[in-house]
Amino acid sequence: MAASPSQKNQLFLGLFIHSIRLGELQYLHDAAVCVDKGGKIVAVELPCDQEKAEDKLYPSLGWTPGDVLVTAAKDGQFFFPGFVDTHLHAPQYPNVGIFGKSTLLDWLNTYTFPMEASMAELPRARRVYARCVRRTLAHGTTTAAYFATIDVAATNLLADLCLAAGQRAFVGRVCMDRLGPEYYLDASPAAAAAAARASIDHIRTIDPGFALVSPVLTPRFAPACSAAALAELGALRRETGLPVQTHVSENADEVALVARLFPGHASYAEVYDAHGLLEGGRTILAHAVHLTDAEADLVARRRAGVAHCPCSNTALTSGEAPVRWLLDKGIAVGLGTDMSGGYSPSVLEAARQTVLVSNHLAMPAAAAGVERAPDSHRQPPDDNERARAKLSVEEVLHLATRGGAEVVGLSDRVGGFEAGKEWDAQLIGLAAVPDGGGEEDGGRAGAGAADEGNVDVFGWETWEDRVAKWVFGGDDRNVRKVWVRGRLVHSRSPS
Ligand code: GUN
Ligand code: ZN
């Protein structure tokens, strides 16, 4: 079951929009992107139409027209890099939206551990995971960093399903040998390490080079892991060089619990560092809401990345992660849906909430409540810092694509439309309101009233404004097609 790129070379034509640096989107109008049979971008040319591509690009690539599949964005549509969801829990998918008034630690016990444990029943896991993968693809998520469960067979099934559906994925068997209910715990640190190995071995058999699906070492979070279990995983990290994902400093009670459980350590992040889980430049830390100054410096020095999960942080009342501050520290930041702490499978929703949470940080009321965690040594922000907290549409789209790619260690392969990168992309369509149209079509805007969502474009908006309208009003109805490594993995009909 190999990852199967497209069988043909491909030519994509039209408008391409991608982030070239934090805060700057590039608009490539009337452009052509050539993608080879392996799913790699081999040429980017503009201006360029099909005729010019056939005359100029094909000969230089050794292509003949019969060998090329052509996809042209229609007027008003654009190609955008696929989203990277740097943090989500596939087994929690059925719980999306269900969190009541809980906060992290009671949410885990009430909703999360029982649901995760139930995935040991494989037909149930198949149903949930298949749906989760399809749904996230439909929202334009081409790369996902998944937490699975402690169950090896169900974790392996998730990896199989990602590979079959063509989603680029990191799949982690969750290690936890304490804090959870008795029925949902690793038997010992050694058993946790053995189970992690078993899942790594499985993924190596289905995708030997980890071209599409990779294992990721996944200690749930420090409170759920004994020091011995963390040490086992740290040793496994050194041995394999695999990436690591975990949670850090999400909630004030959790931070206090870590201080109680690991009294000899300087901080939460330092617990991971002391067990060899922060080094190597391949660690994804989810949340990082309440990091101290010294912790953020440590994370930056170790080149670990942060998965910012605003939907979850707000839903579980965890706090407002200071994203600008993290970026200023030189830490790579991507976006995570954190389903089902987060209530949505959409990275676009996470991007939107990233803007809104950053606006909250810029409000004086947020400054008044700045004692984010009892142990925080951060200074309250001054007016200037507060104003800088605000993140723009362009900045959050960077985090959703290139920033995420950096966090998961794929910045040489995905996140933008340069030659040499792989074609992980989505075709976005917005509803064009017809000239003179409006009431007489019963509000069914757009040519043929194709289901293009609720972002109405009148035609006079700049492209910058259209992108902003997409970020704040868009959803999966705007995602017409999705490709990973050149393979079409989702299509919304009619196109
Ligand atoms: N911390 C430990 N486990 C979890 C989890 O499943 N979700 C979130 N949001 N935080 C966690
Ligand atoms: Zn999480």
State pTM to two decimals.
0.96
Specify the CATH number of the domain 83-407. 3.20.20.140
Any ligand 1 atom below 6 A from CB of 322? no
Q: What is the architecture, at CATH level 2, of domain 9-81+417-491?
A: Roll (2.30)
Task: Give the integer Cα–Cα distance in Å for 120 and 154.
Answer: 6
Q: Under a CB-based contact definition with an 8 Å cutoff, are residues 180 and 224 in contact?
A: yes
Ligand 1 atom nearest 316 alpha carbon = 9
Task: Give the integer Cα–Cα distance in Å for 20 and 395.
Answer: 10
Ramachandran region of residue 453, left (φ > 0), alpha (ψ -120 to 50) or beta? Answer: left
Half-sphere CA count of 213, side-chain side, radius 13 A? 31
Phi, psi of 421 (to 5 degrees): -80, 165
Task: Give the integer Cα–Cα distance in Å for 217 and 234.
Answer: 9
DSSP code per residue over 73-109 = PPTTEEEEEPEEEEEEEGGGGGGTT--TT--HHHHII
Residue in the structure block whose two tokens are 């605003």: 310
Any ligand 1 atom below 6 A from CB of 87? no
Which residues contact residue 11 at a Cβ distance below 8 angstroms, ignoring those fewer than 6 apart?
32, 33, 34, 35, 50, 53, 57, 68, 69, 70, 71
Closest residue by Cα to atom 7, ligand 1, is 341
Instruction: State residue 385's pLDDT score.
Output: 81
Cα→Cα distances 211→4, 5, 143, 168, 217, Å: 10, 11, 12, 8, 17
Which residues contact residue 135 at a Cβ distance below 8 angstroms, ignoring those fewer than 6 apart?
93, 345, 476
Q: Under a CB-based contact definition with an 8 Å cutoff, are residues 429 and 417 in contact?
A: no
Cα→Cα distances 392→78, 247, 289, 330, 359, Å: 20, 26, 20, 18, 10
Which parts of the chain have pLDDT scores under 70? 1-6, 365-379, 437-451, 494-495
- Domain boundary assignment for the chain: 9-81+417-491, 83-407
State the distance from the centre of ligand 2 to the C-alpha of 88, rounded, in angstroms. 6
State the distance from the centre of ligand 1 to the C-alpha of 340, rounded, in angstroms. 9
Q: Which of 85, 220, 247 to mutate to test the pocket of ligand 1 (most atoms within 8 A of CB)?
A: 247
* pLDDT tens digits, one per residue of 17-36: 999 999 999 999 999 999 99
Instruction: State residue 446's pLDDT score.
Output: 47
Any ligand 1 atom below 6 A from CB of 466? no
Closest residue by Cα to atom 11, ligand 1, is 247
Q: Which of 225, 230, 338, 339 to mutate to test the pocket of ligand 1 (most atoms within 8 A of CB)?
A: 338
* pLDDT tens digits, one per residue of 466-489: 999 999 999 999 999 999 999 999
The SS3 of residue 416 is coil
Which residues contact residue 166 at a Cβ distance below 8 angstroms, ignoring those fewer than 6 apart?
3, 4, 137, 212, 484, 485, 487, 489
State the distance from the centre of ligand 1 to the C-alpha of 64, rounded, in angstroms. 51
Half-sphere CA count of 184, side-chain side, radius 13 A? 20
Task: Give the integer Cα–Cα distance in Å for 324 and 296.
Answer: 12
| Ligand 2 ion local residues (Cβ < 5 A) | 286, 338
Partners of residue 145 on adjacent β-strands:
170
Task: Give the integer Cα–Cα distance in Å for 363 and 428.
Answer: 33
